[in-house]
Structure 1
Amino acid sequence: MSITKLLQIQYPIFQGAMAQISHYQLAAAVSEAGGLGIIASGGMTGEQLREEIRELRKLTDKPFGVNIMLMMKNIKDIVTVIIEEKVPVVTTGAGTPKHIMPYLKEAGIKVIPVIASVKHAQKMEEFGVDAVIAEGSEAGGHIGETNTMALIPQIVDAVSIPVIAAGGVADGRGLAAAIALGAQGVQMGTVFLASEECPISPAYKEAILAASDTATAVTGRIAGAPVRCIRNEMTDHYIELEQKGTNREELEEITIGSLSKAVYEGDTVHGSMMSGQIAGLVKDIKPCKSILESIVKQAQERLQDIRLELGE
C-alpha cells in the first residue's frame, strides 16, 4: 500500500519534527495543505502535548502525527496522551520504539521511526512498524553518517515496508529523486523553517534564506553525537574546543539553551540554528500550502521530463 493511502494524506510529504519548532501552527498548516504535519513532543509535558493536539484540531481535521523522542523520561505520559487523543500517526527518534509498540498498535496508531542505517531499518521492520523515515547526513539537527543518495536505495532493497527519504530535500527535484531511488515520499524540515506558519524568530528565518551550500557545520562528530547547524560563532567555538579534546561536560555548557536562543530570541551568533545542507535552495518565505503545491508540481514535471529523456 502506498504511503498516501496508508496515512490518508494527499501528498507523500512529511514535515520534519523539529524540537521547539514543530508546534501545532506549523503541523496544522502542513496537514491542511495535504502533507503530514508532525508535532514535536520533545521537551513537552503530557498536558502540553494534549493542548498542542487540541489546538491543531481547531485548524484542521486532516491526518497528522506526533513525534516521540524516545530518550525522554516522561515517555509513559506522552504515549498515554497520544492514545487518549487518538493521534493517527507517530514518528519516533533517538531510540527504539519496541517497548511502546504494543500500546500504539493496539490503539490503531501507525508507527514510523526515523532511522539512519540498513541495520536499524531491518530491526524496525521486525518490530512491526508501518514504514521508516531514512534520514541522510545532509539533514539538519542530529544526523547519521551516510548520505541520502547512498542510504535510500540500500534501505529500499533491505525492507518490504514503505521508505520515506529525509535529508537534502527542499523542492520537487528532491521529491522526484527520492521516488527514483525507491522511496514512497519525503520528509523535509529546513524548507518549512522558512514557511509563514513556522513559529521561529524572524532572524532565524533570515539566516535560512541567506544560507549558501556551505553554510552549515557539524558539531559533536568526535563525541559521536553529530548535529548540523548553520555555522556561526557558537559552532566555530564548539568545533575548535572539540578538536582540542575538551571534555563533553565543557562542550555541553556551550550548547545548553542554544536552540531556544535561536528559536525564540533570534540570537544568530550564539544560538543553535539547526538546518540541512539544502538551505541554499530556500530563497523565500511562503505559506505551507504554496510550498507543498510547488514541490508536487515540480516533481511531476521532472518525472515526466525523465520519461521523455529515456524515450518513453
Structure 2
Amino acid sequence: MGWVAGPRLVSATARAGALGILASATMTLPQLREAVREVKSRTEAPFGVNLRADAGDAGERVRLLIEEGVRVASFALAPSQELIGRLKDAGIVVIPSVGAVRHAQKVVAWGADAVLVQGGEGGGHTGQVATSVLLPQVVDAVGVPVIGAGGFYDGRGLAAALCYGAAGAAMGTRFLLTKESTVPDAVKERYLAARVTDVTVTTKVDGLPHRMLRSDMVAAMESSGRIASLLRAVRHAAAFKKHSGLSWTAMLRDGRALRHGKGLTLSQTLLAANTPMLLRAAMVEGRTDAGVMASGQVAGLIADLPTVAELVAATVGQATARLTELAAQAGP
C-alpha cells in the first residue's frame, strides 16, 4: 500500500470505524511526521503506522510514533524484541505482519500484541501458502489476536476470517479501490477491469515473489536480460535517491536488509531498495507503462468504487447477516 495508504485514505478509514494504517516506507521522516499530524487533524479515532523493521532509521521512526502519540505500530517484517519493547513501554499496540507460523510464534514471544497473517492471495510481497491454510495454523499456534489478510474484500470474507478464529480481516486492494484512495482514476480502471487471471506473481521486480497486475511493464521485466535489468535498476535507484535524500550506501544497506543478504546480485540489491519508484510511477503518476501495480487476487472480484464509509458499513452488515444466518441454521 505504499503511495496509497496516505492521510486521506487512513483518516477516512478511521472515521468509518476501521483501523487505517499509514504506509510509511515511502516517506522520509519529515514526511511521516507531517502525514501523522494530518491524520490527527482530520480525526480523533485511532490509527496506525506501518514501518519497515529493517530500515536503517527504524529506531528514529519508532521515536516519532511515540512523540506523536500514534496508537498502533504495524511492521512489514518482524521487528526486533528491542523495538517491540520500546513501543509497548509507550503504550503503543504492536502488530507485526507474518507469513509463517514460526514467525508469528517468534514475535509473540517477544511481546507482540497481535499478528497480521497474510496468505499467498495477498498483493505485493507474498508467500506460497493460501490464507485458508495459513490463518487457522497461526490461530492455533499463538495466544494473541490474529488478523487475516490476503483474499478478503467483503463481509463474507470477514465472516470467514471470524469463523477461522481470527479477530478480524485486513484488506489492501479493496481499500485501494475506494473514492478516498488517491490512486489515479485511470489506474483504478485497470484494477476494476482485471480478471482473477490478470493477477500474477513475479520475482523480476526485486528478486522476491511480488503479486501484481499483469502489464506491459511486467512482461518487459520478465523477458529482459541481466544487462537491461541492471540498467533499469540503476535508473530507478538514482530516481529514488533524489526523492528520498538517502545516500547510495544507505540505499544499498536497506536493499540488502530486505533480501536478508541471500544471493544478491547488484541489480537485485538496487531494486530491493528502490521498488517504491516502480510503484510510484503507477500509483502517483498514473504511468502504468513505466510502473507496477501491486494487487491481491481479489482485484478480479471487485467491480465498484464505494466511499470508505460505504465499504465498511457494507462489509460489517454483510458479515453480520451471514453469521446470523449460519447461527439460525445451526439451531438451538
- Shared fold, TM over 0.5: yes
For residue 142 of structure 2, what is the aligned residue in structure 1?
159
| In 2, Cα distance between equivalents of 1:59 and 1:26 | 11
| In 2, Cα distance between equivalents of 1:107 and 1:242 | 49
For residue 9 of structure 1, what is the aligned residue in structure 2?
none
User: Which of residues 210, 214, 236 in structure 2 aligns to 1:227?
Assistant: 210
User: Which of residues 95, 108, 119 in structure 1 aligns to 2:102?
Assistant: 119
| In 2, Cα distance between equivalents of 1:221 and 1:271 | 13
Matched, 1:271 2:291: yes
For 1:257, what is the secondary structure of its paired residue? Answer: helix
Q: Percent identity?
A: 41
- Closer, same or farther in 2 for the Cα pair 1:304/1:275, shift >3 Å? same
| In 2, Cα distance between equivalents of 1:229 and 1:280 | 12
For residue 251 of structure 2, what is the aligned residue in structure 1?
none
Q: How does 1:205-244 map to 2 (within 5 A)?
A: 205-220=188-203, 225-241=208-224
For 1:134, what is the secondary structure of its paired residue? Answer: strand
- Closer, same or farther in 2 for the Cα pair 1:256/1:196, shift >3 Å? closer
For residue 295 of structure 1, what is the aligned residue in structure 2?
315
Residue identity opposite 2:288 in structure 1: T
Moved more, 42-51 or 283-292: 42-51
- Closer, same or farther in 2 for the Cα pair 1:255/1:123, shift >3 Å? closer
Structure ranking higher in helix proportion: 2
TM-score if structure 2 supplies the norm length?
Answer: 0.83
For residue 198 of structure 1, what is the aligned residue in structure 2?
181
For residue 305 of structure 2, what is the aligned residue in structure 1?
285
For residue 33 of structure 1, what is the aligned residue in structure 2?
16
For residue 105 of structure 1, what is the aligned residue in structure 2?
88
| In 2, Cα distance between equivalents of 1:223 and 1:285 | 30
Deviations 1:158-205 (A, max 9, x none): 001000000000000110111111101011000011111111111221
| In 2, Cα distance between equivalents of 1:153 and 1:175 | 14
For residue 54 of structure 1, what is the aligned residue in structure 2?
37
For residue 280 of structure 2, what is the aligned residue in structure 1?
260
| In 1, Cα distance between equivalents of 2:205 and 2:39 | 39
| In 1, Cα distance between equivalents of 2:132 and 2:220 | 31
The two structures, once aligned, show a CA RMSD in angstroms of: 2.3
Gaps of 5+ in 1: 1-17
For 1:133, what is the secondary structure of its paired residue? Answer: strand
Deviation of 1:20 (Å)? 1.6
For residue 144 of structure 1, what is the aligned residue in structure 2?
127
Deviation of 1:99 (Å)? 2.8
For residue 4 of structure 1, what is the aligned residue in structure 2?
none
For residue 64 of structure 1, what is the aligned residue in structure 2?
47
Gaps of 5+ in 2: 231-264
For residue 19 of structure 1, what is the aligned residue in structure 2?
2
Residue identity opposite 2:190 in structure 1: A
Deviation of 1:56 (Å)? 0.5
Deviation of 1:255 (Å)? 5.6
For residue 170 of structure 1, what is the aligned residue in structure 2?
153
Deviations 1:231-256 (A, max 9, x none): 1012122233489xx88545666967
| In 1, Cα distance between equivalents of 2:167 and 2:299 | 23
Paired positions, count: 295
Matched, 1:73 2:56: yes
Moved more, 87-96 or 291-300: 87-96
Deviations 1:129-155 (A, max 9, x none): 100000001001111221100001010
Residue identity opposite 1:235 in structure 2: V
TM-score if structure 1 supplies the norm length?
Answer: 0.88
